[in-house]
Chains A and B, each alone.
Chain A
């Protein structure tokens, strides 16, 4: 075998090995990215769910998360024709989902605080009502009589047969 033929052989083998090794990696990477994006969205959903259970307003978070879901669906559609665009969409979806997960912590905390405030307001109203009722029961008679006297302070009592 001549030297040029040997070189040609080495180059061909190298190219074949390169093609064989890169093709499965890219497809494996894509499926890994899909899995990562799906898991991120589902994990973010769990955070949003618990934030809502704690009384947080999750409207904005849900909107953002649906944006991430739309990106994943877009990536599924374009994966066969434009894998790099699909990969970018999946990265964006993962980033959005991670941001939603982080933000849901503060939404959850503010929800808990609002709920606690509402509890204190209600309990305060009940205590105030009971206090007023107790006062009215104990001092009601006296207050009523004084009020009556104040209202009728100018009333002149006359004998009916005068």
Chain B
């Protein structure tokens, strides 16, 4: 082996070892996001209620996952809407609040929780709107994450 080849091999090994030693210090750039899902009474995406009576309790499960890269303080707001209630990724629904669920969720943690909901007014095409809010540490308040979900119900008297 000549000196030039030996120098190249030595330099390569040095760079590899130094890079391996520095890897834990380099922050990982991964996409940051939260997940929101609503599950049926058997904790799957089936069996959602479509007809319920007024003041009749029905069970759903909330599913929230944190991939924001840090611990998150979440609130899931359940609102009672109708066909005309406006809600999007940018604006939250201006509708009466049915329930609030609150939890602090660590990075990569999943929060699945039961929701026993009751609607106290009859109506066809009633929308149960679920919005995910998270606490902004700098602003010191809860902010709408833009994640929402809904189920449609016929509420009979």
Contacts and interface: CB of A to CB of B under 8 A. Distances in A.
A122 B21 contact: yes
Interface in A20-68: 42, 45-46, 48-50, 52-53, 58-59, 62, 65-66
A42 B140 contact: yes
Secondary structure at the B interface, as helix, strand, loop or mixed, is: helix
Nearest to B19: A126
Given A45-B104, A62-B71, A69-B104, A133 B21 contact: no
Contacts, number: 65
A141 B1 CA distance: 11
A66 B21 contact: no
B24 A118 contact: yes
Interface of A: 42, 45-46, 48-50, 52-53, 58-59, 62, 65-66, 69, 72-73, 118-119, 122, 125-126, 129-130, 132-133, 136-137, 140-141
A133 B13 contact: yes
**Which range contains the number of B residues in contact with the other chain?**
20 to 34
- Listed from nearest, the 8 A-B pairs whose CB atoms lie closest are A125-B21, A133-B14, A129-B17, A45-B73, A126-B18, A46-B137, A122-B21, A126-B21
